[in-house]
Structure 1
């Protein structure tokens, strides 16, 4: 209800709230949906009373749920009702991101931007609608990365017997389950077609049967044969052929004058855009990521309605650079630039004038010099000074606007990060920062700790950094001892810093009070700094992977969940008094697990263990032990009370132990429950139960 709601106001609403809960019959879905209805109402008694009076309880479980959903639906504005019903079209097991969904809503005419407010356009309104549907609990994007789960059903019977305006179809890889295109062509009234998965096409199949579709989304199939007839769809607004074999668009695509949204992501054989694409005056969204497109048509700058542009290639042709085409695109809010190592000088980067745009998201990408193992690719371990200086000059001129909230830098190989990253007022609105494949940077910038809104920081694959020193926390001669460093940071990732050995952070330095999740992966860090355990009191999840020289994890007072993987020198985990869930995978020298009184779940995986670790006996309140081990050790565990491992696990409330077959599938098992006693294994004879002594 927000921080401004007074406690007295809440007390006045409690009796009504309890009545609404009672009418929900204890059903979680009904309660969630009604909570969504109330969350968008005024915090006033008359408004809540109207909700209570409209909510007539029912005795039948489905009816209670349906009525609560219906009430929430009826409470929607007319435009939101259309968006909600359209959302239900999207198929099972497919990922639809917010951009896709909002783009479809716009193409259907459900959203109309405000012509009087230049920056509050259709995409902004669509995002507001999307968030309100989530707030009302009518959609749950987290269930599948912003995807709605809808059933496929017996679509072939329906397609042959009925006519539809909107179709959403999902087919499997098996040939017998493929979508037969001839059945789709019979749907001559279609306005929306969403097809995920393989399509069975034959010569002559086309899009010509559909006179007036607004939305066409075809994904993960061979659809190149359909491109020839694409320009027949004169009313099409939304086009997505992501992850298909499509390698070109029609040369006369300019005849599709209403086209607003083009998604070519993952079309790997696509190399060239048609020159006439620059005549699509209504185009708002263009995604070229993961395609072979390395050049763009001259005159791209006249697409002034573009709002989101991904995978734009930086390209030189004599003294002309494609970045020059960007500065007139003043409506851009999100942009991803790739191939920046192709830019000859900083002067060409300056012509993009990114700082004058109202960008909220920016990605700057060079061809990576870092391999999968985190090391600089062989043959490129030493760069010429002039190459380092050139890329530094290019990035220095690509400084973003101050309102930027998300920044991604990938493949940068300058010796030091851009000058605007070393000046705190240039990124004062930044919320998310990701830096990947920093081949040559030896030090992280000092101003990051001063950013007031930074919540997420990820450093991935920076092979030249050996120490994260005081400068990372903004310590200098003029440092304000009362200042809080990284005041809002809640997620921090250090991954692939293969030479990183030391992290300096003393207890007296107040930093990261809001940090909730920390991931450290693939490094040579010897120990965690004392300041981290002492100051990061909100830290709840800690993940440590492939820490080659780490000996102990100690005194993280607030950590609730700890994952430790592939750390060969780790010997001790101690004094984690709030720890509830612990996962240990291939840490062969771990001997001590002490000071963990709250632990309830332990996951242990190691196929080289000859015996269960002794520290299991020291964990007294363990509710679940999940073990993946060798068949030899599992056989010993399966002996039960007479066996040598019994004392180590008999106190655990429930044990699940497994050994894998040659295909790494769990084939053999031991299942043990302490109370009431139950012991089951298939070691000697599958599904046989062994009587206890």
Structure 2
């Protein structure tokens, strides 16, 4: 409804018109469907309705990128316009569904790359196309009768993750009018099974290991536009794939597929090609001048396989991913790719094979020679993107420093660059100084840069407002990073809303961040070693600290509303946080609740701890921990085991006559804690202390100990 009202405008009469709409009283729709979604659907333009309904077919257990969704819409003929801008139109439709809140962006991806659809909205969409589409799971017992009951235009058969099943290809033979087949279930094909009956098929997404027969006869699908093969146990594609003259979108997620056939260069309509990481493309690729999206193109320099210079004529490219760039023997091959001349290129991914170990440090045995560094630096020099690039991702780069076009004032021409992702910078010793001058940069992420120990004043410069539109920054696994210089007087990051600092040795968060990032709302610190305090962030409303071993105090956060503390064992001081609403505390090692809990005025507390501590909370006012949380209005405390973190609970509401509810029993506590102590305890003294603690718990739970009166010193136990 919010999305609909935003589209209607700001005038009162426009909203009143929605309120008074007669469609609210529609009586033919089942009660379980949402009328607000129906009203939003009715107000959609016709071109958007069919795209929305089609999206509801996509299996919710799988991720579909914006590229793939738009490609399916184009294959179905939903998007009309000039053939050169169909993808752009499709992206606009996709973004319009987002703006109407009918699909929801996955925040773990940049730029709306992956979205999901809420179950309520999905159910409505599937109801509206129930006469033309069949959406089912392999757990449905009546899937075969449904397939035989009527002819459908669209089939979506999803695997129920709790089950595994198969479907015989012959069960689909009656569906001769189907235009889309999406299947995440194993479909069995036998030699002799034909695809000729599917002459209307435009879109095929299939996930199955046994695809040998299907792949052999793919050329029979004369009108197929979109083909996605996932988890196929195949090593080659047949040479006759070149006969699929109308094929526009080809996504191959088959890890064993290495070599593509020569005939693939005959697919003149191909505009999207996504390849497995190890596959190699034959020479002649330069003929595919309609290509707009090319993912995981492997740089190869010998034999009959394609090299970077084959990319030169592909002037229509919008998305390009290059891998194994360490194989490029000379910068001239990179220069011949002519990336800086591709004016439509907006997304670029440059990848080298990692030089890092799992712990984030450089592999010592292999190392990186000076010759290798110089060569990869020269190659990247020639891979400068065009001025209109919007997303830049560099992974596995092992040069000593990032290239000149990423460094200083030379970055100013990239006025449209919104997202930068640096991952696996094995040898770089500093972050690029020019990033702060990018006028449109909204997301900056740096991950795995083990040689960066110091971020100096060049990162945040004084010449002008640095990072004027940066919204989110993530600095992760810079494992040797200790210092960040940023003085308070240097203005920067006025729009920064979220920052994550993870897996580093940062001694303190710079004062410039606290005083200048006036829009900063979320501060996330995870495994930051040597950090001893967090203080004086006047604008932060949510703070997450996770596994910071040296953190001792958190103070002076006047607007903080939500605080999450996970395994920060040295934290002793928590004060001057007057606006705190919610506190989440998780620590499975603590012996008792921290003393700072006495001064906390949060309305809601969520606690995750070990069972015996939870049982001490469960006894309420008679227990030793009660005075540390009795002032909290709502308490939800949990303990668990390997199956569930919330197996046992204590729920408390102060305003409801101090109502306390728990599912902890005496026998559960005794059995669980005793078994734990016998496994974990080291020596007699530890066993003695644990048994003493168990006896105290029995007393708190109101159980008469079998040893008689307990004096609190453990004498009877001994």
Q: Provide the rounded CA distance (Å) in 2 between the counterparts of 1:189 and 1:443.
A: 59
What is the SS of the residue equivalent to 1:264? strand
Aligned to 1:281: 268
Aligned to 2:552: 571
Q: Do the aligned partners of residues 673 and 178 (structure 1) sit closer, same or farther apart at CA in structure 2, a change above 3 Å counting?
A: farther
Shift of 1:112: 3.0
What is the SS of the residue equivalent to 1:317? coil
> 1:40-78, CA deviations, whole angstroms, 9 ceiling, x for partnerless residues?
xxx789977876776554287978986665554454444
Pick the aligned partner of 2:455 from 454, 461, 468: 468
Asked whether the 8 Å contact 2:444–2:470 carries over to 1, the reply is: yes
> 1:460-486, CA deviations, whole angstroms, 9 ceiling, x for partnerless residues?
0000000001011135xxxx3xx2111
Asked whether the 8 Å contact 2:426–2:450 carries over to 1, the reply is: yes
> 1:267-319, CA deviations, whole angstroms, 9 ceiling, x for partnerless residues?
1111111110101010010011x4421x2110101100011110001111179
Shift of 1:685: 5.0
Q: Do the aligned partners of residues 175 and 419 (structure 1) sit closer, same or farther apart at CA in structure 2, a change above 3 Å counting?
A: same
> 1:174-207, CA deviations, whole angstroms, 9 ceiling, x for partnerless residues?
6664444332233122111011233355565553
Shift of 1:609: 0.2
Matched, 1:132 2:86: no
Matched, 1:250 2:238: yes
Q: Provide the rounded CA distance (Å) in 2 between the counterparts of 1:205 and 1:141.
A: 40
Shift of 1:520: 0.5
Aligned to 1:435: 422
Matched, 1:326 2:307: no
Aligned to 1:550: 531
Aligned to 1:649: 629
Shift of 1:84: 2.7
Matched, 1:156 2:139: no
Matched, 1:617 2:598: yes
Q: Provide the rounded CA distance (Å) in 1 between the counterparts of 2:521 and 2:590.
A: 29
Aligned to 1:8: none
Aligned to 2:616: 636
Matched, 1:105 2:92: no
326-335 or 365-374: which moved more?
365-374
TM score, norm. by length of structure 2: 0.84
Q: Do the aligned partners of residues 502 and 140 (structure 1) sit closer, same or farther apart at CA in structure 2, a change above 3 Å counting?
A: closer
What is the SS of the residue equivalent to 1:641? helix
> How is 1:410-559 mapped onto 2 (pairs within 5 angstroms)?
410-422=395-407, 423-474=410-461, 480=463, 483-559=464-540
Aligned to 1:307: 292
Aligned to 1:364: 350
Q: Do the aligned partners of residues 327 and 626 (structure 1) sit closer, same or farther apart at CA in structure 2, a change above 3 Å counting?
A: same
Aligned to 1:21: none
Aligned to 2:2: 32
Q: Provide the rounded CA distance (Å) in 2 between the counterparts of 1:507 and 1:544.
A: 21
Q: Do the aligned partners of residues 568 and 305 (structure 1) sit closer, same or farther apart at CA in structure 2, a change above 3 Å counting?
A: same
Matched, 1:84 2:52: yes
Shift of 1:34: 3.7
Aligned to 1:28: none
Asked whether the 8 Å contact 1:197–1:221 carries over to 2, the reply is: no
331-340 or 599-608: which moved more?
599-608
Asked whether the 8 Å contact 2:666–2:701 carries over to 1, the reply is: no
Aligned to 1:147: 116
430-439 or 625-634: which moved more?
625-634
Shift of 1:490: 1.0
- Count matched residues: 643
What is the SS of the residue equivalent to 2:422? strand
Q: Do the aligned partners of residues 552 and 143 (structure 1) sit closer, same or farther apart at CA in structure 2, a change above 3 Å counting?
A: closer
> How is 1:325-404 mapped onto 2 (pairs within 5 angstroms)?
325-357=310-342, 358-381=344-367, 383-404=368-389
What is the SS of the residue equivalent to 1:522? strand
Asked whether the 8 Å contact 2:189–2:214 carries over to 1, the reply is: no
> 1:106-131, CA deviations, whole angstroms, 9 ceiling, x for partnerless residues?
1112223326xx5xx11011111222
What is the SS of the residue equivalent to 1:212? coil
What is the SS of the residue equivalent to 1:337? strand
Q: Do the aligned partners of residues 651 and 239 (structure 1) sit closer, same or farther apart at CA in structure 2, a change above 3 Å counting?
A: same
496-505 or 188-197: which moved more?
188-197
Pick the aligned partner of 2:197 from 195, 209, 213: 209
Shift of 1:660: 2.1
Shift of 1:536: 0.8
Q: Do the aligned partners of residues 411 and 255 (structure 1) sit closer, same or farther apart at CA in structure 2, a change above 3 Å counting?
A: same
Q: Provide the rounded CA distance (Å) in 2 between the counterparts of 1:545 and 1:619.
A: 23
- Mark the runs of 5 or more structure 2 residues left unpaired by the alignment: 109-113, 124-134, 670-699, 703-718
Shift of 1:669: 2.2
Matched, 1:582 2:563: yes
Aligned to 1:18: none
Q: Provide the rounded CA distance (Å) in 1 between the counterparts of 2:521 and 2:272.
A: 39
Q: Provide the rounded CA distance (Å) in 1 between the counterparts of 2:260 and 2:520.
A: 48
What is the SS of the residue equivalent to 2:115? coil
Q: Do the aligned partners of residues 122 and 527 (structure 1) sit closer, same or farther apart at CA in structure 2, a change above 3 Å counting?
A: same
Shift of 1:376: 1.2
Q: Provide the rounded CA distance (Å) in 2 between the counterparts of 1:510 and 1:173.
A: 51
Q: Do the aligned partners of residues 691 and 659 (structure 1) sit closer, same or farther apart at CA in structure 2, a change above 3 Å counting?
A: closer
What is the SS of the residue equivalent to 2:596? helix
Q: Do the aligned partners of residues 320 and 642 (structure 1) sit closer, same or farther apart at CA in structure 2, a change above 3 Å counting?
A: closer
What is the SS of the residue equivalent to 2:156? strand
Q: Provide the rounded CA distance (Å) in 1 between the counterparts of 2:667 and 2:196.
A: 59
Q: Provide the rounded CA distance (Å) in 1 between the counterparts of 2:6 and 2:148.
A: 39
What is the SS of the residue equivalent to 1:257? coil
Matched, 1:408 2:393: yes
Q: Provide the rounded CA distance (Å) in 1 between the counterparts of 2:456 and 2:614.
A: 46
Q: Do the aligned partners of residues 498 and 343 (structure 1) sit closer, same or farther apart at CA in structure 2, a change above 3 Å counting?
A: same
Asked whether the 8 Å contact 1:650–1:674 carries over to 2, the reply is: yes
Asked whether the 8 Å contact 2:179–2:200 carries over to 1, the reply is: yes
